[in-house]
Amino acid sequence: MLGEMIGEGKGKITSVRVLPFEGAGPRLEVSFQGAGKLLEQEITEVGTYISTLTPHGVLHGAGQGLITTRNGEIATWTGTGVGRPTGHGMAASWRGSLCYQTSSKHLSGLNQITGVFEYEVDESGNTVEKLWEWK
């Protein structure tokens, strides 16, 4: 069951690198950066994920990232998701989950939850993310 929305943000794909083919389908390493709010804290975020296009046209992804609050507190995340292409270029719609680690006072609640996300990427590489607590 989804709990309250705990975060949202906007960003931009900053780099894309084609990775060696390993038989499952084309693989891309995608890096992004963005800004938004998480647990009512203003944050910036950078992350990288590997996106693999399966023979059935579904995207499988796994990645990691770093979150920094305005006052310098840090949290890290690892995540996994499933997506589908929605247009040209990087355009895709993703759904997945994130697990966090932090010693941040203001973000400490992240250590005890799994976040469930919606992540949209348009053809120009602009991103929009929404995040809920999974209860």
Length of the chain: 135
Count Cβ neighbours within 10 Å for each residue of 103-114 and write b for 16 or more, e otherwise.
Answer: ebebbeebeebe
> pLDDT tens digit string along 84-116?
999 998 899 999 999 999 999 999 999 999 999
Q: What is the domain-level CATH number for residue 112?
A: 2.40.160.20
Question: Is residue 132 scored above 80 in pLDDT?
Answer: yes
β-pairing verdict for 92-102 and 27-38: unpaired
What DSSP assignment string belongs to 74-118?
Answer: EEEEEEEEEEEE-SSTT-EEEEEEEEEEE--TTTGGGGG-EEEEE
pLDDT tier at 23, thresholds 50, 70, 90: confident
pTM (global) more than 0.85? yes
At a CB cut-off of 8 Å and minimum separation 6, what does 73 contact? 41, 102, 104, 105, 106, 107
Over pLDDT 70: what percentage of the chain?
100
Please name which of 98, 67, 53 lies closest in space to residue 80, comparing C-alpha atoms: 98
Tell me how crowded residue 18 is: count the other CB atoms within 10 A of its CB: 9
Number of domains in the chain: 1
Range of the domain at 44: 2-134
Contact 104, 73 (CB under 8 A): yes
pLDDT digits (tens, 9 = 90+) for 40-62: 999 999 999 999 999 999 999 99
